[in-house]
Amino acid sequence: MAYSDKVLDHYNNPRNVGSMDKNDPNVGTGMVGAPECGDVMKLQVKVNPTTGIIEDAKFKTFGCGSAIASSSLATEMLKGKTVDEALAIKNTEIVNELALPPVKIHCSVLAEDAIKAAITNYKDKTAKEQAAVAQ
C-alpha cells in the first residue's frame, strides 16, 4: 500500500509520544482498541483546570502506520482546544488531513474514540473531585 506523505511524516516523526501521570487530577486518559484487532491507542490530555484548555496531549499507539499517524495528529489537534471543542473533533477531519484510504478509516474512528475516552475520563475525575469537595 502506498502511504500519503502526511502519514509517512507522522510515522517517521511522531508528535507528542509519551505518557503522563494518570493519577494527576488534571490528566485524562483514554485507551481504546484491542491487541487481537491489531490496534490499541492510548491518548492523554492535560487540562488547565481554571481555563478548561488542553495544555498538553500525549499518545502511544500499537497499530499500523495509519493508526500511529491518526493518534499523532490527534494530539496536535487537541492542544489549545477547550475540553468541549475537543469532544467536537470528528474522525473525518483526520481522514482528510492524512488522506487516509477507505480501508484505513477505522484508524481515524479509533483516534476519535480515544479523544472521547480521554476527555470523558478527565470529566469523570473532576466531577468526582468536586463531589468530594462539596461533601
Partner 1 sequence: MNLPIYMDYHATTPLDPRVLEAMMPYLTSKFGNAASRNHAFGWEAEEAVEKARKQIATLIGANAKEIVITSGATESNNLAIKGVAEMYAERGNHIITAATEHKATLDTCKRLEKHGYRITYLPVLASGLIDMDMLRESITDKTILISIMYANNEIGVIQPVREIGKLAKEKGVLFHTDAVQAVGKVPVNVLEDNIDLLSISGHKLYGPKGVGALYVRRKSPRVQLTAQIDGGGHERGMRSGTLNVPGIVGLGEACELCRKEMATESVRLRTLRDKLRAKLETALDEVYINGTMESRLPHNLNISFAFVEGESLLMGINDVAVSSGSACTSATLEPSYVLKALGAGDDIAHSSIRFGLGRFTTEEEVDYVAQKVISVVQHLRELSPLYEMFKEGVDLSKVQWTAH
CB atoms within 10 A of CB 95: 20
**Residue 44 · residue 130 · CB < 8 Å:** no
Contacts of 44 (CB under 8 A, 6+ apart): 19, 20, 22, 27, 28, 29, 30, 57, 58, 59, 118
**Residue 42 · residue 29 · CB < 8 Å:** yes
Q: Is residue 36 involved in binding partner 1 (CB under 8 A)?
A: yes
Computed from CA positions of residues 20, 21, 22, 24, in that sequence, does the dihedral angle turn out positive or negative?
negative
Answer yes or no: 107 catalytic.
yes
Tell me the closest approach of the beta carbon of residue 19 to partner 1, in angstroms: 7
Q: Is residue 64 involved in binding partner 1 (CB under 8 A)?
A: yes
- Indicate which single residue of 68, 86, 95, 119 sits in contact with partner 1 (rule: CB under 8 A): 68
62: amino acid identity, one letter:
F
Compute how many residues bind partner 1; rule: CB under 8 A: 32
Answer yes or no: 64 catalytic.
no
Q: Is residue 32 involved in binding partner 1 (CB under 8 A)?
A: yes
Q: Per-residue x/- marks for partner 1, 71-110, CB under 8 A?
A: --------------------------------x--x--xx
Residues lying near partner 1 in the complex (CB under 8 A) are found at 3, 8, 11, 14, 17, 19, 31-42, 60-65, 67-68, 103, 106, 109-110, 113, 117
